[in-house]
Amino acid sequence: MSDDGQNSAEKDLAKKNIRLAIILGLIAAGFYIGFILFYF
Amino acid sequence: MYEAVLHDDHHDHKPTGIGRWLFSTNHKDIGTMYLVFALIMFFVGGAMSMVIRAELFQPGIQYVDPQFYNSMVTVHALVMIFGALMPAGVGLANWMIPMMIGAPDMALPRMNNMSFWILPFAFTLLLSTFFMQGGAPAGGWTMYPPLVLQLGDGLPYLVFAVHFLGISSIMGAINIIATVFNMRAPGMTFMRLPLFVWAWIITAFLLIAAMPVLAGGVTMLLTDKFFGTAFFDAAGGGDPVMFQHIFWFFGHPEVYILVLPSFGVVSQIIPTFSRKPLFGYTSMVYATASIAFLSFFVWAHHMFTVGMPLTGELFFMYATMSIAVPTGVKIFNWMATMWKGSMTFETPMLFAIGLLFMFSIGGFSGLMMGITPVDFQYHDTYFIVAHFHYVIVPGIIFGIIGGIYFWLPKWTGNMYDEKLGKLHFWLSAISVNVLFFPMHFIGLAGMPRRIPDYNVQFADWNAIISLGGFVFGLSQLILVWVVIKCVRGGEKATDQVWEGAHGLEWTLPSPPPFHTFTTPPEVTDATAHS
Amino acid sequence: MPVDKLKKIVLGVTAVSLFMMSGTALADYMNVLNLTEGVTPTSKMVYDLHMIILYIVTAIGVVVFGVMCWSIYHHRKSKGAVAEQFHHSTSAEITWTVIPIIILVIMAIPATKALVFMEQTGDAEMTLKVTGLQWKWKYDYLDEDITLISSLSQDSNDARQMGSGIDPNTVENYLLDVDNYVVLPIKTKIRILTTAADVIHGWWVPALGWKRDAIPGFINDNWTYIEESGIYRGNCAELCGRDHGFMPIVINAVPKAEYAVWVEEQKATKLATAAGADKEWTKEELLEKGKAVYAANCVACHMAEGQGLEGLFPALKGSAIVNGPASEMIMQVLNGKNMMPAFKNQLSDVDIAAVITHERNSWGNTAADTVQPSDIKAAR
């Protein structure tokens, strides 16, 4: 599976997925960093 | 595995050689890798438990130094929890979620690959500590300071292994949430999702909330040892008990992270073999969510003996008892699914029913332990060991194994050997009780946990327990045989495989092509969850 | 195999098992099935609560498993059952939500009462401070200024070494016996403080009805009131390192008068031992004492010939520290390192001086000097 030959609908879906992943990743990382800042 | 369908499907070309696995972005292959890795780690962890049971077979120290024994106890748990149970769950999720929701793959296929390959790396870090000065971690999987800080060279490896495992789990969780939120086929509304998918959505949120806390806690262990902090050192103004709060704030949601996917599997299996829809779909979703929500409020029941104020002890007692309610709702709903159904008892159903009986036994001892004043006698004894092994082994693991038998024909296109499957079930079910039930007795009678030797009054039960353990361990080899035999061939499986099976995954060929649902399917109530 | 032969075998095995379980065997057997009632008001309250909860969950189990078994039997396809298709019932959901809640509330009431009772540590008549060490217990009778150190008894310690050749069945109270019993008066409210000197330990005597963690740097407050004289044995209940399983607790509960006599005896002994630390010891005296201290505290890890265990416990034989300057070795023994405990908390100046002298003169080590108790005292 490669990114070539993606149509615009697939590109939109990929954007949505990456955006949600970044948000969730920031939440998880945020918990960790917040934890560190709080305690350290 | 996919050879049978290849020649028919021009678009089913797939990579070959080692690159296929190293660089995979395919949810089926990655699911397979997770499951194979989990199975290997299950035997690694299992071998450690055999060392434990061999030493405990008789009073006296026969085989291993007590320090090494403590390492076995510690690493057995770490390997089982992080190397076998969690990867197996994610493996089942990877295989089944896209097919269940009508999606072509997971939302982030490359991150999916990375999530998997972190695991062998992390376990290399962890297991390499056996060869270091000071040996492998030996302070329990719970890693309480100050004891864990007495570990020699291995401490940073332990901490970094835990960090990497956490990163892998979090990435997996993100992937699952993005997949289910963004890639459901049209018509696949949330309330039409199979309960396995719901279980994983909820588990994924638990992972995101809980794993960073564990990461923070072990980071603090590292800085206490090497960077002059004193989080857990009273002499420096710190408190060892704070680590316990941090650990168990992760640790309690963690046990639900482990069990909810297995509950999800049971919710797929029981309706199928009862030929009847799952009873109380909405209640099941809410009960699962309630369990997950409540799991954040009960952590201190793992620490009732640290010397908490009375108010704290009472709060955590009441909160812990309350989790019995949604858990009971789930058991009753499964029973109501079976009730007035038309049941057959193929291997997946045997494991699911086994879970209902024996997870409940674990639930009963758990309720007993939740009663704080009595827990003062149970805590840190074999009663606790009995409880958590009941919920883990004939609970979580039977769920995973049930799922493997349930879905093997779909994955491989071949029916597994039903006679062998049943043999595996009965040997496991009987030996698991010989192994873990007597632990209730010796715990009540006064045997503490995490000890390599004991007073002779406990000898008879320990001998019986060890025998049960040896039989149980050997019985799991049957599973390996079943899987290998099934991959190689067997009676051809239909698309639906099981007479009572409903759901999008059962509309696909067995085995499914490398890429499925490249065009989204049509979803109506008829093709939605069972 | 013919059915008759199988029946005979099963019958035979059952008969033998029952026979083996008869008499005292059965009584012993029953001891290893359940919690002890114990000898304090707390332990009895806890036991009763445990039994009530056990009965309740058993009853629930019988009902739930019974229904499941019946359904498995009756609703089988092979029996001709045809599946109905109902899949919800609000009244059922409410019923099986509300009834468990009621049962839980019923359980919570006596549980709360018991916990409140257990937390009342006031009005004690005496105080015992318990300190957990790797791997022994130290007891300070705060009102009497007496200190005891209580370690696993020598015969248990010998038998538990790997390859000892000693059958644990021949050791009385194997792993549950100590050199110095904790003598306590019965019918007295005793405040028990638990703490630790190195890592977290757990102090547990089942007959008293509770356990509590012993946490370094913190003090936990507990109490007991022992109603009957007797010997009560317990264990460390929190993983604390290599010998977590080898640091038991033994209480000797005696009538108050006997306790008072024991206290006087202890005070007299204490005066006698204090004298030893200030004098100059001969090499022979130190070596003799050091050998005993080594056997009780060091041999488990560093082994009988000082050879240690590859990868885990360094060898003392030929060790750079043992053969180097005495001052460095004294610091290591006092303060510990990684898994080695800080012996300053658990051994006296005399003991430490003796064991260091012993090690520096054994197994071919070349240091061959002596270390006096006064050297240790100065180094602390």
Number of H helices, E strands in chain A: 1, 0
pLDDT at B1: 42
For residue C78, give both structure tokens. 């092979």
For residue B378, give both structure tokens. 């149970």
Rounded to an integer, the average pLDDT of C286-312 is 88
DSSP secondary structure letters along B426-464: HHHHHHHHHHHHHHHHHHHHTPBSS-S---GGGHHHHHH
Q: How far apart are the first and last CA of chain A?
A: 44
User: Considering only CA atoms, which of C65, C68, C88, C108 is closest in space to residue B325?
Assistant: C108
Tell me: do C301 and C324 sit in the same domain. yes
Are the C-beta atoms of residues B187 and B524 closer than 8 Å to each other? yes
C-alpha–C-alpha distance, residues C190 and C259, integer Å: 13
The answer to whether the Cβ–Cβ distance between A32 and B216 falls below 8 Å is yes
pLDDT at C278: 73
pLDDT at B149: 96
pLDDT at C17: 57
For residue A22, give how far its alpha carbon lies from the nearest alpha carbon of chain B (Å). 9
Tell me: do C198 and C230 sit in the same domain. yes
Q: Of B494-498, C59-63, C279-283, which range is least confident?
A: C279-283
Residue where a domain terminates, one of C221, C255, C275: C275
Tell me: do C157 and C82 sit in the same domain. no
C-alpha–C-alpha distance, residues C89 and B259, integer Å: 26
| Positions in chain B whose pLDDT score sits under 50 | 1-10, 530
Residue C272 has pLDDT above 90, yes or no: no
Digit-coded pLDDT (tens) for B113-127: 999 999 999 999 999
Digit-coded pLDDT (tens) for B377-389: 999 999 999 999 9
ipTM of the complex: 0.95
pLDDT at C50: 97
pLDDT at C172: 95
Q: What length does chain B have?
A: 530
What pTM does this model have? 0.92
Question: Which CATH number characterizes residue C39's domain?
Answer: 1.10.287.90
For residue B234, what are the CA distances in angstroms to A27, B238, C137, C218, C241?
Answer: 32, 5, 20, 8, 19
Q: What is the DSSP letter of C191?
A: E
Question: Which CATH number characterizes residue C314's domain?
Answer: 1.10.760.10
Q: From the candidates B343, B357, B378, B382, which should be mutated to test the interface with C, based on the most C CB atoms within 10 A?
A: B343
Which residues of B are the active-site residues? Answer: 76, 105, 141, 168-169, 252, 254, 256, 267, 301-302, 327, 330, 449
Question: Which CATH number characterizes residue C268's domain?
Answer: 2.60.40.420
- Ordered by start, the domain boundaries in chain B are 3-507
Residue where a domain terminates, one of C215, C250, C275: C275
pLDDT at C192: 98
User: In CATH terms, is domain B3-507 a member of 2.60.120.1440?
Assistant: no
Contacting residues of B for A39, CB less than 8 Å apart: 216, 220, 231
Tell me: do C318 and C356 sit in the same domain. yes
Are the C-beta atoms of residues B439 and B386 closer than 8 Å to each other? yes
C-alpha–C-alpha distance, residues B523 and C25, integer Å: 66
The answer to whether the Cβ–Cβ distance between B442 and C239 falls below 8 Å is no
The answer to whether the Cβ–Cβ distance between A21 and B175 falls below 8 Å is yes
pLDDT at B96: 98
Residue where a domain terminates, one of C260, C275, C290: C275
Domains contained in chain C, number: 4
For residue B428, give how far its alpha carbon lies from the nearest alpha carbon of chain C (Å). 19
Rounded to an integer, the average pLDDT of C189-201 is 97
Residue C15 has pLDDT above 60, yes or no: no
Characterize the bridge pairing of strands C126-133 and C136-141: antiparallel
Tell me: do C186 and C270 sit in the same domain. yes
pLDDT at B3: 41
* Full residue range of the structural domain in which residue C287 is found: 279-379
Tell me: do C218 and C107 sit in the same domain. no
Residue C269 has pLDDT above 90, yes or no: no
